[in-house]
Amino acid sequence: MAFARPTMPLPALYQIHYSPWSEKARWALDARCVAYRKVEYLPMLGAPMLRARLGRWSGKVTVPVLFASGQAHDDSLAIAQWAAGQGTGPELFPIGRATELLAWNRASEAVLAHGRALVTPRVAGDPSAALEQVPKGLRWLGPLSAPLVALGVRYLRDKYALEAVGQNERRSAMRAELTALRQALASGAHLLGAFSYADIAMAVALQVVEPVGDGHQRLGPATRAAWREPELADEFADLIAWRDRLYDRFRRPTDG
């Protein structure tokens, strides 16, 4: 008689499908062919459930969070580091390159944090883009969804101190990081010689400069326009082209 082997539950990735931080985690997991299931997180409304699962009742909680084998990995970098030790695929964290890799991850976080502060008011200021933020399951709210989006924007503004730094200052800080990326790529297509998490972190950071095509990240048309940072997108078109080549070569198309 054959006994069914007890199966381990799949790791659960709490994510926001359009969020670059979630995309960094997904890309790392996918690159290593790790199976997982996605749990879509609703900013603000989803926090109590996530806190309950984390057993964390105070302090900031953010997504992505990966629950795997009884452990919670609560940051995109931590998830990628975990993924690098699973499955098969490219060496995401090459030995001896940790310092450079962490520096690129910091650069990615800086670009994304400044980018979020530029994107959020653009989304909030465009009624079509704001409407596109309402999850399908809440569309029945109709006109009531506008104040909900406004509440969500205020929540993000306060949680991430979006107005603490001026917009031009943010653009300059992004420009400095992107100029360093351009310099590093002058000597080859990969930041550490071969495809690694450094490439993933910086390619995904460019989402707040010019979103990647719909084949990789589906966005509503107004949202897509709001995520584009016109000044920097034109100035760093070469980096956008690099990012698109990397996606074409190393990222499988989205499954929705």
Q: Which residues bind ligand GSH (CB under 6 A)?
A: 16, 19, 21, 43-44, 62-64, 75-77, 109, 159
For the CB of residue 56, give the shortest distance to ligand GSH in the complex, in Å. Answer: 13
The Cα 118–Cα 121 span in angstroms is: 6
Q: Closer to ligand GSH at the Cβ: 165 or 237?
A: 165
Q: Closer to ligand GSH at the Cβ: 8 or 58?
A: 58
- Residues 174, 209: contact at Cβ < 8 Å? yes
State the distance between the two ends of the chain, measured CA to CA, in whole angstroms.
41
For the CB of residue 2, give the shortest distance to ligand GSH in the complex, in Å. Answer: 42
Q: Closest Cα to residue 68, out of 23, 35, 117, 111? A: 35
For the CB of residue 25, give the shortest distance to ligand GSH in the complex, in Å. Answer: 7
Q: Establish how many alpha carbons lie within 13 A of residue 78's alpha carbon, considering only the half-sphere containing its beta carbon.
A: 13
For the CB of residue 62, give the shortest distance to ligand GSH in the complex, in Å. Answer: 3
Q: Which residues of 8-36 are buried (b: 16+ CB within 10 A; e: fewer)?
A: eeebbbbbbbbbbbbbbbbbbbbbbebeb
For the CB of residue 65, give the shortest distance to ligand GSH in the complex, in Å. Answer: 8
The Cα 254–Cα 88 span in angstroms is: 20
**Residue 9, C-beta contacts closer than 8 angstroms, at least 6 positions apart:** none
DSSP string, 18-73: T-HHHHHHHHHHHHTT---EEEE--TTTTHHHHHHHHT--SS---S-EEEETTEEE
Q: Closest Cα to residue 221, out of 127, 117, 128? A: 128
Q: Closer to ligand GSH at the Cβ: 157 or 182?
A: 157
Q: Closer to ligand GSH at the Cβ: 21 or 36?
A: 21
For the CB of residue 215, give the shortest distance to ligand GSH in the complex, in Å. Answer: 22
Q: Closer to ligand GSH at the Cβ: 6 or 59?
A: 59
For the CB of residue 19, give the shortest distance to ligand GSH in the complex, in Å. Answer: 4
Q: Closer to ligand GSH at the Cβ: 56 or 159?
A: 159
Q: Closer to ligand GSH at the Cβ: 148 or 182?
A: 148
